[in-house]
Amino acid sequence: MKKLTAHWRSVQPELRVLYLSTILLGLGYNAFYGLLSPFFRAEGVPVETIGFIFSAMTFAGAVAALAGGFAADRLGPLPLIVTGRLCVLIGLGVLLGGRSLPFVVVSALAWGLAAVAGPAESALLARHTTVHNRATALALWETFGMAANAVSPVAGGLLADRRGPRATFGAAVPFIATSALVLSRLSRSSAASSPKSMATGGTGLTRLYRGRHRRAVLGAMLLWLVIGVEMGLLRPARGLWLVDAFGASWSGVGLAGTFTSLAGIAAALVGGVVADRHGRIPITVGSFALGAVAMAAVPWAPRLELAYAAFFLLALVLNLNGPALGALTLEAVPEAYRGRFVGLTGTLMMLGMAAGSAPLGWLYGKARWLPFATCAGLELVSALIVLLALRSGLPDDCPEG
């Protein structure tokens, strides 16, 4: 707690505004995101098609993340972050404007394009931190997002129960719009900082693969691809399983997100401090190993209350390594390449999510537990990648453990 307090006192204004914008975005976006898969099905979209809609959304995100990484290194991060917020608003406007499948697809693509902001946010955070406090800063950033997620899903679910899910979509608009306006003001006030300084040291990513940290670079790329496959499979499967196994209402689906976020807050704060003090590798590998066990156990919960407890424990172990993974990715490359490298890993994660969402209908149709068992196996694969590729390829000044 002392380390977190000291970090907060030393935070630069740019990061404070990023944290505020993250809270506002989380309050809006997470209020409706967990409702999407059951909402699409209620609109008459087959489960197989829902999987491909999420795949299309994440494929658009893959393209946007890669482009956003290069653009962040050249233009500076703030314009890209604002653009991402505007894409979320466009997606909501399209979904509120029509009920047919084309409207659903277009809105999903717009939300995917919002991933253009991800690399820029990471680059902004890395720009204002050092190797000694970066994991803590990442933990605090994640914590603000998950704090919003602890409130917004259940609030969005309750509103959907009373007024319908479209009311939740509309209620999200002012929060996301405000998150963009906050960053727009910061963009003008921080114009003195030169984005060109972020792009020095070469323009091609190919030189990263020939450097002495080649193994860490390739390992990080493969790791985020695998994580993406797991996320693409798990996120839509959670809502469907809660509805089918327990008859959960809209608010019941949202409540699962609340429990997940509460666990994530505690885990991320602890994980960030531990990663800065004792190294990135031990907490990352341990989290993946425990995550495999917790993931495999989730679908065997006999009651809804125990399902919430299972998701709470799962989020607790999975989020322990979030700050460490973020720090490992940023520290695998020199500062001049961080925007584009985070964009590349974000693209690979999105491509993985697209690949993971596509077989959702087939796996879920075979057995409700099968998507969770598949994710458990991917947790173990991720632990092996960290041990075999990242552990021996970290920069000399990186806390390895």
How many domains does the structure of the chain reveal?
Answer: 1
Only one residue has tokens 């009311």, namely: 167
Domain containing residue 302: CATH number:
1.20.1250.20
Residue 32 located in a structural domain:
yes
Query: Is 120 domain-assigned?
Result: yes
Please indicate, yes or no, if residue 398 is contained in any of the structural domains.
Answer: no
Q: What are the pLDDT tens digits along the chain (401 aa)?
A: 555 566 566 666 777 788 888 899 989 998 888 788 888 888 888 877 887 888 788 788 888 888 887 887 777 788 888 899 999 999 998 888 877 788 888 888 999 899 888 888 877 777 777 666 677 777 777 778 778 877 888 888 889 888 888 899 999 999 999 998 887 666 444 433 444 444 444 445 566 666 566 777 888 889 999 999 998 888 888 888 988 888 888 778 878 877 887 887 778 777 777 777 777 788 889 899 999 999 999 999 999 999 999 999 998 888 888 888 887 787 777 777 777 787 788 788 878 887 887 787 788 888 999 999 999 999 999 999 988 877 765 555 555 55
Q: Which domain does 287 fall in, by range?
A: 7-390
How far apart are alpha carbons 2 and 15 in whole angstroms?
19
> Quick check: is 401 in a domain?
no
Q: Hey, is 239 helix, strand or coil?
A: helix
- Residue at 191 is within a domain: yes
In a domain, 396, yes or no: no
pTM: 0.67
Helices (H), 247-357: 250-278, 280-297, 304-318, 322-331, 338-357
d(CA 102, CA 125): 37
**Amino acid at position 357, single letter:** S
Supply the DSSP string of 159-225, one letter for each residue. Answer: HHHHH-HHHHHHHHHHHHHHHHHHHHHHHHHTTTS-GGGGS-S-S-SGGGGGSTTHHHHHHHHHHHH
Question: Is the residue at 311 inside a domain?
Answer: yes
